[in-house]
Chain A
Amino acid sequence: MFMKRLRAGRIITGAEAGILGAAALLVVIFALASDSFLTQYNIFNLTRTQSLYMFVALSQAIMLVTGNMNLSVGAIAGLTAVTFGYTVDTLGLPWPLCIAIALGVSLATGFFNGFVMTKLGVNSFIVTLSTLFIFTGIVYGVSEGYSYRNIPAAFKTIGRGSFLGLPYLFYLMLGTLLAVWYMFRHTIFGRQLLATGSNAEAAELSGINTHRVIMGANFLSSLFAGIGGLLWVSRLGSAQPAIGENWLIISFAVAIIGGTALAGGRITALGLFAGGLIMVLIKNGLILVQANVYFEQAFLGSIILLTILLDRAREVWAKRTNRS
C-alpha cells in the first residue's frame, strides 16, 4: 500500500524527488571533496543552520502559496528578537513570558500586514515594502543599535543543545515541517491557502473567504519569522538588532529552490527541507573547498541556478515520458 502510493506520487512527488536528488548529489560531491565535511562538528552546525533557514523560508513560502509575498520577514524577525531582548534584559521579565510577548508582537505585525492587504486592498509587495522600513525603524528606535546580552542560559540551550548528535533545532524543524505538510495535505485551511494562490477568483467563487485566508497566511508568516528570530537569539546568545537583515533573499531563494511556486498554489514540505539543505550545503561546501572569497557569491548563484535547471530538466523529461 505504502509503496503503491509512493509510486503514484502521493507521498513523494516528482518535484520533490528532483530537489532531494540535487541535495543528495551535493552531499556526495562535498563528502568526496573534503575530509571535514562528514565530521560531527560540521554536521551539527550544518543542520542547525538549515533549521534556521527553514523558518526563514517558511515565513516567505506561506505567503507565496497564496500568491502574495512578505518583504518584511527579516524586519519582523529583528523586531521579535529586540522585543525579547528588551523584555528579558532591560525589563528582567521571566523568559517564557518574554517569548509570549515577543511572539505576540510578531503576530501583531502579521495582523497589520494582513489588515492593509485585505481590508484596505493594497498589493502585498507595497504593504510589506513599507512595513519593512517601519519595523526596521522600530527595531533601531527601541534598541538604538545596541544588542541585549543578558539572555537566560536555559533559553540559550534551545539553540545550542543537542540530542543524539543533532541539534534541538533540527528536531524542531522536522516537527514544524511535519505540521506544515499535515496542514496542506489534511486540513481545510491548508487547502484554502493553496486554492487562493492557485486562482483567487475561483477560490472566492468556491465559497472560500480569501481575505480570511490571506490574513491567516500573514499570521503564519509572521509567526515563522518571529520564531526564526528568537531561535537566532538563542543560538547567538544575544539579541542583536541586526538579526534578519539578510533574510529577504534567502527567504525567496530557499522557498523557490524548494519548489514553492512564485505565482502561488504550490508548496511542498519535503521540497523546502531539501531547498534549505541545498542552500547550506553550497555555502558550507564553498568554504570547505577553500573557494576564492571574492568570487563566492558568483559560485553560490551559479549553483542555485544549476539546481533549478536540473529540476526544470526533470520536469520537461517527466512531461515527455508522460505523453508517450
Chain B
Amino acid sequence: MTKKWTILKTAIAGVAIASFSAFSASAEEPKFAWYASTVHPYFDEVQKGVDAFAKDTGVEVTKRLGQDWTQDNQNENVAAMAAQGFNYFSIFPSDVSGAKGLYEELAERGVTIVDFGQATQEPTPAAFYVGTQLKQAAMQATEALVKSMGGKGNIINILEVPGENTRLRREGVEEVVAKYPDVNIIQTVGDLSTIEDSVEKVQNAIAANLGKIDGMIATGYTPTVAVAELLTEYHEQGGDRIHFFGIDTDAVVLDAIRAGHIDGTLAQNPYGHGYISMALLKMMSEGFKPVEGQHAIDAGVLTVTKDNIDNFQGEISDLTKGIINSLEGEYLTK
C-alpha cells in the first residue's frame, strides 16, 4: 500500500516537474522560495530571518509549509512549486536521505537548492547547508554541563529518536565526557519521540540512579522540553540538585532557566538559517559560484544561561551578520 503510494506520488511529482520544464526554458529571471515541513516553532523563527532578508533586499520570497513531516508530502508540494516556475529553493529536508531523490530531479531542471536546519546526506545536489553543526553543538553543551558540575560527576545522556542526527549528537557528548576522567555517563536513554514518552523514560532513569545523578544532557528538542518540566517539579519538591543543559529555546525551557531549575540551553540560530540561506540563493542567482570544498555553513550556536538569557537574541543577530559578511570570498566567488 505504502509502496504504491510512493510510486504514485513520485509519478505525480514527475509529471509536475516535466510540465514545469516545458515552459521554464524561457523563464530566466530568478524566483525564490522557502519551504519547510509543517507547523513548528523552529520554522517560525527561521521565517523571521527570511522575512528580514526580503525586507532588507527587496527580493520577493514565497514561503510554504507542508502538511506533515513525511518526505512524500514534501515531494508533492515542492514539485508543484517548481512547476510554478520557482528556481531557487531554501528547503528543510524532511528526510535527510529521502529528500535527495527530489533534489536530483530538481537539479536536473536547473533549480538551485540550499538546505537549512538539517543537511541531506552527501553527496547531495544541494549547493549549501546552513544550520547547526550537530556534533559541535552537542560538544559545546556537554562542556557547559561539565563546567556547571565542577568537572566531575555522573551524567545521564538523553537522546531523541535513533538516526543519523542522534548518532552525531551522541558522539559529541561521549567525546567530551571521555576527556574528563571524573565524569561518567551512567545511563543513556533513547528513542524519545513524544513528550509523554520523554517524561516517562527520563523519570525512570532518575529513579534507576537516584542519588547518583549530578547532571543530564539532552540534545533534542522534545526531550529538552520534557526534562525542563520534569526538573522544575523535581527541584520544587526538594530533590537533589541535578544540572542540566538542553537544546533550543522553547519558552518552557527559558522559564526553567530563569527559575534556576536547569542550568542552560543551546540557542541555535534559526534566524540565521533563514537569512543566510536566502542570501546564498540570491548571490548564486547573480552569478556567484560555490567555492570548491565548501558546503556546510555553521550558523552558530550560543550557550544560554541565566546570565545572558535576556540579551542572547542580540548576540545571535551579531553571529548572522558576521557570517553574511564572510560569504563572498569564503563560500562564494564569481
A residues apposed to B, CB below 8 Å = 34, 36, 39, 41-42, 45-46, 49, 52, 140, 144-147, 149, 160, 232, 235-238, 240, 242-243, 245-247, 280, 283-284, 287-288, 290, 293-294, 296-297
Contact = CB atoms under 8 A, between A and B. Distances in A.
A59 B52 CA distance: 47
B196 A243 contact: yes
B41 A36 contact: no
B266 interface: no
Interface in B31-73: 38-41, 44
Contacts of A236: 195, 199, 226, 229
Contacts of A149: 251-252, 255
Contacts of A36: 207-210
A293 B251 contact: no
A146 B188 contact: no
A147 B44 contact: no
B107 to A, nearest CB: 31
B200 interface: yes
A283 B40 CA distance: 29
Given A49-B200, A288-B204, A296-B191, A144 B39 contact: yes
Nearest to A156: B233
A126 B197 CA distance: 27
A36 B200 CA distance: 16
B171 interface: no
Given A42-B210, A287-B208, A293-B188, A237 B203 contact: no
B187 interface: yes
Contact of A293 (B189, B229, B252): B189
Interface residues of B, number: 39
B222 A242 contact: yes
21 contacts: A36-B207, A36-B209, A145-B39, A145-B40, A147-B225, A147-B250, A232-B196, A235-B199, A236-B226, A237-B229, A238-B229, A238-B252, A242-B194, A242-B195, A283-B201, A287-B204, A287-B205, A288-B204, A288-B207, A293-B189, A296-B190
B102 interface: no
B190 A293 contact: yes
B96 interface: no
A149 to B, nearest CB: 6
B139 interface: no
B154 interface: no
Contact of B225 (A45, A240, A247, A294): A240
Nearest to B250: A147
B187 A290 contact: yes
Contact of B201 (A41, A237, A287, A294): A287
Contacts, number: 97
Contacts of B232: 237
B194 to A, nearest CB: 4
A145 B41 contact: yes
Given A144-B39, A293-B159, 19 more contacts: A41-B210, A140-B38, A145-B44, A149-B251, A232-B196, A235-B199, A237-B232, A237-B233, A240-B225, A243-B195, A246-B194, A247-B196, A283-B201, A284-B204, A287-B204, A293-B189, A294-B190, A294-B191, A296-B191
Contacts of B208: 34, 36, 42, 287-288, 290
Contact of B210 (A39, A46, A144, A237): A39
A218 B314 CA distance: 51
A36 B208 CA distance: 5
B12 interface: no
Contacts of B187: 287, 290
Contacts of A144: 39, 41, 44
B207 A284 contact: yes
Contacts of A280: 200
B162 interface: yes
A246 B193 contact: yes
B252 to A, nearest CB: 5
A39 B200 contact: no
B279 interface: no
Closest 7 CB pairs of A and B: A293-B190, A42-B207, A287-B204, A246-B194, A288-B208, A245-B194, A236-B229
A138 B270 CA distance: 26
B332 interface: no
A279 to B, nearest CB: 10
A247 B191 CA distance: 16
A147 B252 contact: yes
Among B44, B208, B233, max chain A CB count under 10 A is at B208
B2 interface: no
B37 to A, nearest CB: 11
B237 interface: yes
A95 B206 CA distance: 31
Contacts of B38: 140
A235 B200 CA distance: 11
Given A36-B209, A238-B252, A245-B194, A140 B39 contact: yes
A294 B170 CA distance: 13
